[in-house]
Amino acid sequence: MRRGPSWRRIFLLVATIIVVGVALPATMSNPVVGTTPKDWNPKSFWYEPWGASGVHKGIDIFAPKGRKVVATASGIVLFAGSIERGGTVALVLGAKWRLHYYAHLDVLTTHAGSWLSRGQQVGTVGATGNAVGKPPHLHFSVVTLIPYPWLLSTRAQGWKRMFYLDPGKLFD
Domain CATH number, residue 60: 2.70.70.10
Question: Is 161 part of any domain?
Answer: yes
pLDDT of 49 reads 63
pLDDT of 19 reads 67
Question: Is 33 part of any domain?
Answer: yes
Distance CA 116, CA 107 (A): 16
pLDDT of 155 reads 80
Query: Given its phi and psi angles, is residue 50 left (phi above 0), alpha (psi -120 to 50 degrees) or beta?
Result: beta
State pTM to two decimals.
0.86
pLDDT of the chain along its 172 residues, tens only? Answer: 556 667 777 777 677 767 666 666 677 899 999 999 999 888 888 777 666 666 788 999 999 999 999 999 999 999 999 999 999 999 999 988 899 999 999 999 999 999 999 999 999 999 999 989 999 999 999 999 989 999 998 887 888 889 999 999 888 7
Question: Is 1 part of any domain?
Answer: no
Structural domain span for residue 14: 7-169
Question: Is 38 part of any domain?
Answer: yes
Question: Is 30 part of any domain?
Answer: yes
Angle value at C-alpha 95, between 91 and 97, nearest 5 degrees = 65
- Total number of domains constituting the chain: 1
Is residue 64 reached through a cis peptide bond, with omega within 30 degrees of 0 on the bond before it? Answer: no
Question: Is 2 part of any domain?
Answer: no
DSSP 3-state of 160: helix
